Structure 1
Amino acid sequence: MVMAIRMALAAVFALVATIAVAQQDYRIRSGDVLSVEVLEDSGLNRSVTVLPDGRISFPLAGTLTAGGRTIGQVQASIAEAIGSNFTSPPNVFVGVQPREPDPIDPNALLGPTIDIYMLGEVTAPGLKQVTPGTTFLQALSQAGGLSRFAAQKRIQLRRTDPQTRRQQVVVINYKAITNGALLTPDFALQEGDVILVPERRLFE
């Protein structure tokens, strides 16, 4: 019995070690959700979404590049950026939360999907089939991000109630998000949602 327990624990530890190595080698992508923990200040612990341009925002650190980097590199960047706020170098731990299959992958379409629409100044506008639970920022990433003509402060999320047909419009300031503001919540999209990105005005 004791031997069986030891063998089971050894298998668990081996699996954890394998996952840890895989995460350390993983290159972070836009749309990933990172879990960030600061040992010295639990008030900083949070989940952050990698924006379409590959950046993340973190308190005391501002905006940092995460896309294309490893977890270790992002940990080091955050620790360095917030280091001046601590008497000794802070211990920062970053993990990548499990990700739904990429909707661009044909295999992903075998599971349940919802239809959303990306209109206006995005790189790849049109109908998008995404997995349920996909958030606004993740969908924006899947559309290739914003074009250089986008009015970043006036993005609209338009949602129509299927029963009353009344439409709700939420205005999202993407520029503020890239400067460190939190999108609370990062909206989980629903069937038929429309994300409209207007063209910016002359002096906007």
Structure 2
Amino acid sequence: MSDWRIVPGRETVAVIPILSFGVIMMLFGSGCATSSGVSKTEALIASMTRGETKDNLALNSRILAMANPDSLAGDYTLGQGDLLEISVFGIEELSKIKARVSSEGFITLPLAGTVSAGGKSAIALEETIKTALGSKYVRDPQISVFVLEHHSHRISVLGAVKKPGVFEVSGPRSVVDMLAMAEGLTEQSDQVVYLIRKATKSPTASEPPGLQPPATSNGKSAQEAVLEINLEEMLVNGRDELNAPLQSGDVVHVPKAGSFFVGGAVTKPGSYLLKGREVTVDQAIIEAGGVTRVADFEGVKIFRENKGQKKQLIEVSLNEMEQGQKGPLVMKNDVILVSSNGFKSAWFGFLEFIRFGVGASF
């Protein structure tokens, strides 16, 4: 009796270049150092590359390589309209002075006069003010700068990223920059990203292609425009046009990958992520380690959810797929169960009994 098994085969896959940790460190070694001597950039790289699977490490490595280094440093840079509170310790007249950054990027302070603030971090501005005051008026002044109001860009990064939230940024930022600021993708992330933007009546020339508000059921355009971005196309295949420039109020959403379950007479039963792939039933079983020797090749069942309806039952023959027939595609939340063949179970159980039970009596 032949023992047919679906086992993992060799497949031709695209080789995704993975940047070594050392190369990434050379690219972004200019990050601001922390008190422990480790830069924020180094800490971010360690966070993004720790405990990653090969595919996820490849995508996060590409995010690090493509991101603006300012995004990795993590320091908020001051911009037009930001309201600052500036204090010089020990001098009452120079305590809690409020100053707003002008459209040209300057603030005006007593004694120090006009000081350039735009494009600097709060720490850098403290040093600038310290130099301006220390050169003429105050010996070794101790300065603090606190941002009371942020009027630069606010961009949200949500979903399957390691540090979701609303980020205060200034200067131009792209989708990849924001993914880097959110410390990269989690293991549960899908391979698509959605850019969500409030729709405008007259889109500008800088709008990325494809960012169009979908039509609603009443024929009117929705209030938000959505652009779907394929991460592999953008990060691996070099389609830089997908790395869209962002505006204040934009939302970058990384959905969780859909999953399916494979159980029954397979080697490694469990849940597996689709990750934006097209996976057939036989490929799903291979991903679960292949079938065991008691599997019923005519007893594969797919239980599929249908909104508002009972679960759909689809029966599949592995024998037909081994003869060249393409198996059905797996969908999100599918449950695939490989039944055991009663005769095979009894036969192999008998062989095990002969091997261990009878053999042990001699």
Same fold (TM over 0.5): no
Of structures 1 and 2, the one scoring higher in RCO (CA 8 A, sep 6+) is 1
> Please, what TM-score do these two structures have when normalized by structure 1?
0.45
Larger Rg: 2
> Please, what TM-score do these two structures have when normalized by structure 2?
0.27
